[in-house]
Amino acid sequence: MYSEMSLIELKQHAKVRKIKQYYIMKRAQLIQLLEMEELPQSLVIEKMTIAQLREQAKLKGLRGFWALRREALVELLFPEDVDQAATDKNEKNHSKADEHDNPKNHHAKDVRVEDVEDADHQRL
């Protein structure tokens, strides 16, 4: 059903299902999420308002949650989902650009030093 829809139609369905950031997702991602009977818990949590989170805390019988910020409240209510989301984010953000090349790992013979003044005179 969803594979036959246009991207605009998919986005409209995603909006109705309250999928966060549906407007920047690729067609294949939208189809995958829309075909699920139930959205992953992490997406549901991200979309919850502070009032909804407080209502959840109240239903669970928690106390002292009124002064908490959204992030702390989410962590209190759904600690396993917060841990998994943090792990997923760290894996996603890790790339070769983040790796640091330690100069201590190189031998002095391998390091090339260029005299800037000489290089400028040679260009002229």
Which residues touch 23 (CB under 8 Å, ≥6 apart)?
A: 11
CA distance 6 to 3: 8
CA 119 to chain centre: 45
Q: Domain residues of the chain, as ranges?
A: 1-37, 40-93
CA distance 86 to 113: 42
Only one residue has tokens 């005179």, namely: 121
| Secondary structure letter of residue 25 according to DSSP | S
pLDDT digits (tens, 9 = 90+) for 13-25: 999 988 888 889 9
CA distance 1 to 35: 9
Which residues touch 27 (CB under 8 Å, ≥6 apart)?
A: 7, 10
pLDDT digits (tens, 9 = 90+) for 33-71: 899 988 888 888 888 899 999 999 999 998 888 899 999
pLDDT digits (tens, 9 = 90+) for 88-104: 555 555 555 556 566 66
